[in-house]
Amino acid sequence: MTNEITRDDWQNFFDDLTKRRFEWQTKVEVFSDDFGSQVLDDGLPLSGITVEKDGEDTTVEIMVGTDDDHHQTHNIKNPTKIAYLGKDDKPGGIVEIEEMDGTKTLVHIIQPMPIVLKYLENQEGKAA
């Protein structure tokens, strides 16, 4: 199921997503009429996705990786649409960020191995 995220909820959505999917494996792809399809990352863990506002400008910053040798940051200036493809009760999902020129960035959030998923579920149970 695809859920469009309203502009007012972008920050809360990304804060919650980062908290729930921190260090999950990612794949970041960009699709553009100018340069076609490019994979920016395939396998790095999610560090965070944030929204920065500066006056009228908004930047979505996607950060993946855990150290200086294996880290990437991808900035998207003034996105026009953000949607989430997936279900909250299921692991994984895809964040779709669209720009005014039609360029789309897809952040695939891939569930960790089952043993890691079981550990995370146990940790969430202890925190509740």
- When pLDDT is averaged across residues 94-122 and rounded to a whole number, the result is 82
CATH code for the domain of 80: 2.70.180
- When pLDDT is averaged across residues 49-63 and rounded to a whole number, the result is 95
Q: How many domains is the chain built from?
A: 1
Neighbour order of strands in the sheet with 25-32: 2-5, 81-85, 93-98, 104-110, 25-32, 36-54, 57-67, 70-77
Instruction: Please state, in angstroms and rounded to a whole number, the distance separating the CA atoms of residues 100 and 120.
Output: 37
Provide the residue type at 77 as one letter.
K
- When pLDDT is averaged across residues 16-26 and rounded to a whole number, the result is 92
Instruction: Give the pairing of strands 25-32 and 70-77.
Output: unpaired
Q: Give me the residue label for tokens 């940790």.
A: 123
Q: How confident is the model at residue 113 (pLDDT cuts 50, 70, 90)?
A: low
State the DSSP code for 86.
S
pTM: 0.82
- When pLDDT is averaged across residues 13-20 and rounded to a whole number, the result is 94
Parent domain of 55: 2-127
